[in-house]
Amino acid sequence: MPQRKLVGNNILAMPAETALALKIVSKSDLLRLKTIARIHARGLPADVGWADLLQEAFARILDGSRQQPEGVPLVAFLAGVMRSLKSDHWRRALRESRYAQECRIPQTPGEPEDLELGDPAPDPERLLGALQELAAIDRLFANNRVVLQIINGLAEGLTADQICTAMGISKTDYDSARKRMRRTLLREGLTCRLI
């Protein structure tokens, strides 16, 4: 997670804090953006966290390198900036991967032939955090069968239409349940933490 910088005797605020202080975003918009950042950060390496995506998106609008189009809500615009940052990361990773494959380094005598590659599985800390959040969500919605079925359907990669068909509910009921889920998770702080 990004840390505040100390310059002289002053502590510089993070871009998200600056945007909040300048009233560019409201607290509820910031919560929504944190949730969106967490979604975009899934699957990225551990050194690229959701807070990094959010801070970089804010930094780009505050420094003027990204201009918000007229008529586009700020939350939607920042979500697009974070999606773009995620895509940039994957493009760089792919380019570096191709470069690494093209640049074979000849081995010197005495060096081991096998290179040790990093484990793609999440580290124990990240895994524990995810398991704790999932357990908290299960406890939170233990008495709501519809919500738990929607969560299971999403976990299996089903679309909204497939979940509605499987559960025998209307799209309106599905959307209402998703809104209740989102509000409950935001209220309980399970989708984002304060920066």
Q: Is the dihedral of CA 139, 141, 142, 148 positive or negative?
A: negative
CA distance 89 to 60: 15
Per the confidence metrics, is the pTM higher than 0.85?
Answer: no
Class of the domain covering 122-195: mainly alpha
**So what's the pLDDT on residue 192?**
46
Where does the chain hold its CATH 1.10.10 domain(s)?
122-195
> pLDDT, tens digit, for every residue of 6-57?
334 444 455 566 655 556 777 788 888 888 888 888 777 767 788 888 888 8
Q: Is the pLDDT confidence value at 126 over 80?
A: no
Alpha-helix runs per DSSP H in 22-73: 27-41, 50-62
